[in-house]
Amino acid sequence: MAAPIHLAYVDGPTPGWSDALVAGVADVFPNPIHASAVPLDLTPSFVPSRQQHHATLVLAALLRHRPDPASKILGIVPVDLFIPVLTFVFGQAQLDGPGAVVSTYRLRAEFYGLPGDEGVLVERAIKECIHELGHAFGLVHCAYYDCVMHASSTVDEVDVKGAAFCGHCVSVLEGKGWK
Give the residue numbers annotated as catalytic, written as ranges. 132
Amino acid sitting at position 124:
R
Nearest Cα residue to 81 out of 114, 48, 45: 45
DSSP 3-state of 92: strand
Element (H, E) at 122: helix 118-136
**Within a 10 A sphere around the Cβ of 176, how many other Cβ atoms?**
12
Measured distance CA(74)–CA(134) in Å, rounded:
11
**Within a 10 A sphere around the Cβ of 113, how many other Cβ atoms?**
6
**At CA 57, angle to CA 77 and CA 151, rounded to 5?**
65
End-to-end Cα, the chain, rounded Å: 10
